[in-house]
Amino acid sequence: MKQNAFSGFALTLLGVIEHVGLAIITVATVIAGVGEVHTMVGAGAVTLADLLLLFLYLEILAMVGLYYQSGKLPVRFPMYIAIVALARYLVLDMKNMNEWRLLGVAAAILLLALAVLVVRYGHVRFPYGEGE
């Protein structure tokens, strides 16, 4: 009987920690996004790197929102975020990269895109059951 009470308490505590963590991620992402918009307004210009960074922030917020909707963290969202982050890295540092680093980052983007396709195919071909 004590094991069930402890398990219930542990699950409740973990749930609270999880929600606090998600709230911190949300607030930090919104603050970072507002700061980036402030920087763009101050500079009087918007670059592709700025837009990609804002897109990263939106993807993080969408991932948190989807988690609250479904209770599950989709595997594909972090992959999308990684692809955009690598694309932003390419845009910012392309002139300073040697050809091998450039090819390595491009290959990483390609591998992530292929992983997204494999995961998506797996979800379509082998969908989860009701309780999974």
**pLDDT, tens digit, 9 for 90 and up, residues 65-77:** 988 888 887 788 8
User: What is the 3-class SS of 19-49, one letter each residue?
Assistant: HHHHHHHHHHHHHHHHHHHHHHHHHCCCCHH
Tens digits of residue pLDDT in 24-69: 999 999 999 999 999 999 999 998 889 989 999 999 999 999 888 8
Q: Distances in Å between the alpha carbon of 70 and those of 12, 17, 23, 76, 123?
A: 18, 18, 16, 14, 15
Model's pTM, two decimal places?
0.76
Q: Which residue has the tokens 């307004």?
A: 41
Report whether 96 contacts 75 (CB < 8 A).
no
Percent of the chain with pLDDT over 70: 95
pLDDT at 90 over 70: yes
Q: What is the mean pLDDT of residues 80-89?
A: 91
Range from 9-18, 53-62, 98-107, 122-131 carrying the lowest mean pLDDT? 122-131
- Please, are residues 104 and 90 in contact by the beta-carbon 8 Å criterion? no
- CA neighbours closer than 13 Å in the CB half-sphere of residue 4: 1
